[in-house]
Structure 1
Amino acid sequence: MNVYRVLIVEDHPFQHQYLTTAFQAAGGFEVELAWDGATALQRLSRNRYDLLLTDLMMPQMDGVQLVQQLAQLHRPPALALMTAASRRMLVGCGQVAKNLGLQVAGLISKPVREAEIIGLRTRLDELNEQARAFSSRPRGCRSGDTLAKALQSGEIQAWFQPKMSLRDGRIVGAEALARWLHPAEGLLMPGAFIEEIENAQLDIELLTSILGQTLSAQAQWAQMGLTLPVSINLPTHLLDQYDLVDRLLAQVRVNQADPRQITFELTESSTTQLSSNYYAGACRLRLMGFGLAQDDFGKGYSSYFNLVSTPFTELKIDRSLVLGCGENDGLASALRSITELGRKLGLVTVAEGAETRAELDVLRRAQCDQVQGFIISPAIDRVELAALLKEDGPRPALS
């Protein structure tokens, strides 16, 4: 068992004793205590810790201020937050930490229980394993030339995550997601290379590669008598290229495909230099027959104004609103409101990131149209999806 150094920031004497005993009972921890944020920062400047656990309600420097200071350290520890305040407050403070680039190991409502402490140890084990995997990766393999060759050679592939109808349980679509079959590192998820592709200004090459592979897969499925619309992520800043829509349409036409079978999801990771480019590109995509989705709605800066002023056909509900909705009445209420708004605007609503049956039940009660997530299927290659489609038929939705 790994042993982790933990610094606990708490100003109540009883909590000091209680937390020390609880962590010792859970095992795998060396615990130190600090009474306030200033003392904690002094300790962090001198010593290395694996985890900082802090209460939010603290004198002089509250937990949020401590989080902001923590983010300025060269190598901050993982962070866990605890409070007797509302769960909504806890989640909001967790978002502060995540947006500052900190690794959030846990959000705990007081009183802290042993199971939650064991959960922290499990999360630290996961972070430790991720760090080892990252340090073992071959260096110097992310040059622009390497990325371009990976795109050209087909190492970076389109895999497809099915979308299931919550009305009848059938597969009604899929989202194309990039996977890199790296010759040395194995299967890499987008988080391992997408940012580097953007930095190398190869995002248009990635977009056209994923579109080309999607059109090829759809043609293969059509030969089997299978028709499936596919959605593809489109970084919004690419709409600054005035000829982008024409190039995408030409690629579809040369493959003798139907643009109505492709939906482009406008992502929030970037924006256009001019707002007119955003609206011009979005309108032209729809004029050419493509579907258009507002991606990650409910996260970041997605706005109601964009939703009602852009000719979207689909509303993608961000996974942050889905995760835990089975146990969180606030999230369930938000999902009901969003799906109702989608219906009034004539949009297909699609929830991302469903992992449990409880979450499916909430989405079904909210009358969400479609869902994707690991409980349905992870992203799979075109051959596996074809097999899944052949097995798919009229059947009841999951219950």
Structure 2
Amino acid sequence: MSYPFRILIVEDHILQQQYMLDVLLQAGFDVAEAVEGGVKALEQLKENEFDLILLDLDMPDMDGMQFIQALSQRQPMVALAICSACMPDIMESAVRVARGQNLTVLGHYAKPFIDEYAHELAHKLQVAQHGRETILKERPIVLSPNQSALELALREKQIIPWYQPKQCLRTGAIVGVEALARWQHPHSGMISPALFLPYVSLHGLDKPLLTHIFRLAAQDYQDWCRNGYTVPISINLPTHLLEQESLPDELLEVAMHYHIDAQDITFELLETTLTEQTSQLLVGAGRLRLKGFQLAQDDFGIGYSSMQALTTVPFTELKIDRMFVAGAAQDETRAAAMRSSIALGKQLGLKVTAEGVETEEDARLLHTTECDNIQGYYVSHPLPADELLRFLQRA
């Protein structure tokens, strides 16, 4: 089998380079190149495009951690895999650093790099490329949209919700979807949210985006209902917006306008955007619950105020961040953190959803826990509304 992916090996030992090149080419990769270190790799990335970087960590000119930081600033859309003789905990630390820098990490492997690893990476690249929203398929573009450009995109409905299904772990039924903003630019095509959402916040458009996505999602909800499917929807809500006293009333007006039961809408509070006005956060969250909306603690485990928020805000759901889920079946430390988080959520009487479930192995591991729902590529990539309806019809 031939794999149409371009691989760049970053490795300072010449013999290791040649060995890994031979393994990749024999496994069927069309193009594999190697450079001696991070500095040369960054130079190569200026001139050529690659689908995957296979990175050693222990290099003299620029170690793997330094390279990861530089890569995230220069080529954040290329996928990364680590192959090193370092201890597993050091490789895991590098993976966490890379994911914290919003890089796509496909795995880490102990040397020697073998044929099995090559085919596993090929499969992961194929899965990633298959999904239209995946980062691997969205090549980096230069984008710094101003406020007018974003307001125009909202007004002309270039920014629309795509939906990632949430599956009940016990029954396999689809129990909801998460609405995720996607920008279909008229000239640049589909733009990764990582490239425009920061500018939404920068230009003070978090609330217009929230209500825009809510209205479009409500219209899609009505369409699914007409086709026989009642699908609860989750929508990300930047927590600082709860400082606005009128927000719960405005959100309820949208639900009532589209005849949606508020209990079918969950607002996911982003842990990384917690308001400094704690009292206003509690008031806003409490008023949303009084109006019937559900509340989820999103990205649990990656912020500084996890426990404080979880024990004071009236959440109904806890979402375990993908950092503790993806690859947990092969990582005892990550699995322990995941199990503890799930157990905590259940002790607090919350529904628990594990995000970032990408493999059957991780799903099997979650079956041994009290986790309620799973979400991730193992279930489905995010889908536009019409494709989601077809997905529901096949499910």
Do both share a fold (TM > 0.5)?
yes
Distance 1:223 1:211 in 2: 18
Distance 2:110 2:292 in 1: 49
Bigger drift between 252-261 and 344-353 goes to: 252-261
Asked if 1:22 is matched to 2:24, the reply is no
Per the alignment, residue 140 of structure 2 pairs with: 134
TM score, norm. by length of structure 1: 0.76
Asked if 1:191 is matched to 2:208, the reply is no
**Larger radius of gyration between Structure 1 and Structure 2:** 1
Asked if 1:293 is matched to 2:296, the reply is yes
3-state SS, counterpart of residue 227 of structure 1 = coil
Asked if 1:319 is matched to 2:325, the reply is no
Bigger drift between 147-156 and 72-81 goes to: 72-81
Per the alignment, residue 200 of structure 1 pairs with: 203
Per the alignment, residue 87 of structure 1 pairs with: 88
Instruction: Check 1:333–1:200 CA distance in 2 against 1; reply closer, same or farther (3 A cut).
Output: same
Aligned-pair distance for 1:347?
Answer: 0.6
Cα deviation per residue 1:143-164 (whole Å; 9 max; x = unaligned)?
3222212212222112222211
Bigger drift between 251-260 and 347-356 goes to: 251-260
CA contact (8 A) 2:138 2:192 kept: no
Instruction: Check 1:181–1:8 CA distance in 2 against 1; reply closer, same or farther (3 A cut).
Output: closer
Distance 2:352 2:20 in 1: 44
Instruction: Check 1:86–1:311 CA distance in 2 against 1; reply closer, same or farther (3 A cut).
Output: farther
Q: Identity over the aligned pairs, expressed in percent?
A: 36
Asked if 1:152 is matched to 2:158, the reply is no
Aligned-pair distance for 1:242?
Answer: 2.5
The aligned amino acid for 1:173 is G
Instruction: Check 1:355–1:123 CA distance in 2 against 1; reply closer, same or farther (3 A cut).
Output: closer
The aligned amino acid for 1:19 is Q
Aligned-pair distance for 1:316?
Answer: 0.9
Per the alignment, residue 336 of structure 1 pairs with: 339
3-state SS, counterpart of residue 373 of structure 1 = coil
Match of 2:313 among 299, 305, 310: 310
Distance 2:102 2:346 in 1: 36
Aligned-pair distance for 1:7?
Answer: 5.4
Aligned-pair distance for 1:351?
Answer: 1.4
Distance 2:385 2:80 in 1: 39
Distance 2:75 2:222 in 1: 49
Distance 1:161 1:21 in 2: 41
Instruction: Check 1:337–1:24 CA distance in 2 against 1; reply closer, same or farther (3 A cut).
Output: closer
Distance 2:139 2:183 in 1: 16
Instruction: Check 1:233–1:65 CA distance in 2 against 1; reply closer, same or farther (3 A cut).
Output: closer
The aligned amino acid for 1:25 is D
Q: Which runs of 5+ in 1 are unaligned?
A: 10-15, 35-39, 393-399
Report the RMSD for the aligned CA atoms in angstroms: 4.0
Aligned-pair distance for 1:130?
Answer: 6.2
Cα deviation per residue 1:276-322 (whole Å; 9 max; x = unaligned)?
23222222221222100011123344522322222110011122222
Aligned-pair distance for 1:173?
Answer: 1.2
Distance 1:390 1:44 in 2: 46
Distance 1:78 1:384 in 2: 26
Equivalent runs, 1:97-246 vs 2, <5 Å: 97-99=98-100, 107-113=108-114, 116=117, 133-135=139-141, 142-246=145-249
CA contact (8 A) 2:10 2:36 kept: yes
Distance 1:367 1:387 in 2: 30
Aligned-pair distance for 1:261?
Answer: 1.3
Distance 2:5 2:358 in 1: 29
Equivalent runs, 1:35-46 vs 2, <5 Å: none
Aligned-pair distance for 1:194?
Answer: 1.6
CA contact (8 A) 1:335 1:363 kept: no
CA contact (8 A) 1:78 1:104 kept: yes
CA contact (8 A) 1:296 1:302 kept: no
| Count of aligned residue pairs for this structure pair | 373
3-state SS, counterpart of residue 193 of structure 1 = helix
CA contact (8 A) 1:23 1:29 kept: no
The aligned amino acid for 1:191 is A
Bigger drift between 203-212 and 373-382 goes to: 373-382
Per the alignment, residue 37 of structure 1 pairs with: none
Distance 1:302 1:281 in 2: 17
3-state SS, counterpart of residue 323 of structure 1 = coil
Instruction: Check 1:80–1:373 CA distance in 2 against 1; reply closer, same or farther (3 A cut).
Output: closer
Aligned-pair distance for 1:225?
Answer: 4.3
Instruction: Check 1:23–1:278 CA distance in 2 against 1; reply closer, same or farther (3 A cut).
Output: same
Distance 2:74 2:139 in 1: 21
Bigger drift between 152-161 and 64-73 goes to: 64-73
Asked if 1:259 is matched to 2:262, the reply is yes
Distance 2:373 2:281 in 1: 26
CA contact (8 A) 1:23 1:117 kept: no
The aligned amino acid for 1:92 is S
CA contact (8 A) 2:346 2:370 kept: no
Bigger drift between 18-27 and 316-325 goes to: 18-27
Bigger drift between 169-178 and 272-281 goes to: 272-281
Instruction: Check 1:97–1:382 CA distance in 2 against 1; reply closer, same or farther (3 A cut).
Output: closer
Cα deviation per residue 1:204-246 (whole Å; 9 max; x = unaligned)?
1110011112222223333444322111000122122232222
The aligned amino acid for 2:293 is F
Bigger drift between 172-181 and 91-100 goes to: 91-100
Runs of 4+ in 1 over 6 A off after TM superposition: 1-5, 49-52, 71-80, 101-106, 117-127, 129-132
Per the alignment, residue 132 of structure 2 pairs with: none
TM score, norm. by length of structure 2: 0.77
Asked if 1:354 is matched to 2:357, the reply is yes
The aligned amino acid for 1:95 is R
Instruction: Check 1:162–1:114 CA distance in 2 against 1; reply closer, same or farther (3 A cut).
Output: closer
Per the alignment, residue 270 of structure 1 pairs with: 273
Distance 1:181 1:372 in 2: 24
CA contact (8 A) 1:71 1:101 kept: no
3-state SS, counterpart of residue 273 of structure 2 = coil
Distance 2:71 2:230 in 1: 48
